[in-house]
Structure 1
Amino acid sequence: MLVLRRLEAKILGRSLHLVEFAGQWTSSERRQFECDMRVIENFVTPAEEAGLLREIEPHISRLPYESSHWDEAIHGYRELERRKWSPQNRVVLDRVSREAFGGRAMPFVHILDLAEVGVIKPHVDSIRFCGHTIAGISLLSDCVMRLQRVAKGPDPPCQSADLLLPRHSLYIMRALARYEFTHEILAREESRFRNRSVERRRRVSVICRNDP
């Protein structure tokens, strides 16, 4: 039991300083959230970031930034999906698959390019398109992701958490955080973490999922 607790503390220690809680949380609820919403800093190196962007840019630069999304969740974005990657970038994506999915990620990888003035509004990803885990690499910019408890019942608890997603980091959202909380990327002018402004520029996220 002691060994398991030390292992859990080591895992959570990767991201505790990147989470800011607000509202009414019990200690057990915080621990569960921290297990299900992880941020791993420096998951990719600057060289790996450059390699991913070299492969992404020729395709995504042909697309215009869109002002609306099918579910109205995203504004100022462009996106695409890719299955085939260079051997160099496949190594990075396989590392994501092992870390977040036990090696069983969906073959198609979602690339979401959010303009500097773009915004992702609060939403829960559709269960039609992905399973219990979502993992994303943050490229080009830091940002703040806010999660808010989905209101259920007559007196739902007021719970939210802001997460700082540093450039080069990997977030892993699963289980409780995936289904019971909306998530959003704060607009540039709203991007603050622990009372400090976070300079959010254009952000490219490389997102992996598992099957529904």
Structure 2
Amino acid sequence: MIILNRCSPLRQILRRCYSQAAEITSNKINLTAFFGKWPETEQQEFREHMRIITDFISESEEQQLHEEIEPYMSRLRYEFDHWDDAIHGFRETERKKWFPKNREILERVRKVAFDGAVMPYVHILDLAPDGVIKPHVDSTRYCGTTISGISLLSDSVMRLVRTDAQRYNQPSSGTAKELESKGSEPDAAYRHQPAASLENNFYADLLLPRRSLYIMSHTARYNFTHEILAKEHSEFQGTPVPKTRRISIICRNDP
């Protein structure tokens, strides 16, 4: 489900998807482009488990979130050698206590994205304009069925690629979480990078507008790598999507 606000700055791209993209907010707009030969049932599950809500926060709410985290983030340096090699050009932290108005925003995230409680610490990931998040799957040792993030400061494109079926989604072998409990994970890395080639595979590109909320759960969370495309590759359906500095406010539930 995708909800479009008439003030969306991405109307040029949306017009290419639907001729009535600029109409009333009740319109549902597809911000997902599918590639490869998707099994019908798996594509349907993906649509249910990977959602984007545009304009989830207002401009003033984006500003108040940024104003709360910027004094701390600005003291950190961008790193280009992440310990698990999944991110380059980033700085990150976790935050448990928030100003009251921002707690209200995070409570909205909980109500929309999660069936119950979320982990008390919220992950803040600040990606430099030249930064990149490589294809990875977040380890089930550290977060559960759902990962949800608010995008601040910049539009971006997220790509999800189907992982190696032998490892992640063989019906006879169980889900990724079950496989990990049997010791199938190579290590205890927070983010691991399974093989997920685009060749002879199927994948999806998702347009993440500034101030949107993405909700990645179940099939999308376990069986696909996800990445943020580098600025030189950042485009959606042939239209460039300029990526500047991007901050993600990420909530997760317990494993």
TM (norm. structure 2) is 0.76
Q: Residue 209 and residue 195 in structure 1: after superposition, are their counterparts in 2 closer, same or farther (change >3 A)?
A: same
1:135 is matched with 148
How far apart, in 2, do the equivalents of 1:167 and 1:50 lie?
12
2:94 is matched with 81
Contact 1:12–1:35 under 8 Å retained in 2: no
Contact 1:98–1:104 under 8 Å retained in 2: no
Residues 58-137 of structure 1 correspond to what in structure 2 (within 5 A)? 58-137=71-150
Partner secondary structure for residue 17 of structure 1 = coil
- Asked if 1:160 is matched to 2:203, the reply is yes
CA RMSD of aligned residues (A): 1.7
How far apart, in 2, do the equivalents of 1:203 and 1:67 lie?
16
How far apart, in 2, do the equivalents of 1:94 and 1:70 lie?
31
1:181 is matched with 224
How far apart, in 2, do the equivalents of 1:136 and 1:55 lie?
17
Count of residue correspondences:
201
Contact 2:2–2:31 under 8 Å retained in 1: no
Q: Residue 16 and residue 68 in structure 1: after superposition, are their counterparts in 2 closer, same or farther (change >3 A)?
A: farther
How far apart, in 1, do the equivalents of 2:201 and 2:79 lie?
33
1:23 is matched with 36
How big is the shift at 1:71?
A: 1.1
Q: CA-to-partner distance for each residue in 1:141-172, whole Å, 9 max, x for gaps?
A: 00000000002249x96110000000000000
How far apart, in 1, do the equivalents of 2:122 and 2:3 lie?
28
Q: CA-to-partner distance for each residue in 1:60-96, whole Å, 9 max, x for gaps?
A: 1110000021210000000000000000100000000
How far apart, in 2, do the equivalents of 1:28 and 1:16 lie?
21
Partner secondary structure for residue 124 of structure 2 = strand
Kindly provide the amino acid, as one letter, of the partner of residue 143 in structure 1: S
How far apart, in 2, do the equivalents of 1:152 and 1:34 lie?
19
| Structure 1 ranges of 4+ moved more than 4 A | 12-16
How big is the shift at 1:27?
A: 2.9
How far apart, in 1, do the equivalents of 2:222 and 2:39 lie?
19
How far apart, in 1, do the equivalents of 2:116 and 2:76 lie?
31
Contact 1:134–1:209 under 8 Å retained in 2: yes
Kindly provide the amino acid, as one letter, of the partner of residue 46 in structure 1: E
How far apart, in 2, do the equivalents of 1:42 and 1:12 lie?
10
2:159 is matched with 146
2:60 is matched with 47
Gaps of 5+ in 1: 1-10
Partner secondary structure for residue 83 of structure 2 = coil
How big is the shift at 1:13?
A: 6.9
How far apart, in 2, do the equivalents of 1:147 and 1:118 lie?
18
How big is the shift at 1:12?
A: 5.9
- Asked if 1:194 is matched to 2:237, the reply is yes
Gaps of 5+ in 2: 5-27, 168-195
Greater strand share, structure number: 1
Kindly provide the amino acid, as one letter, of the partner of residue 175 in structure 1: H
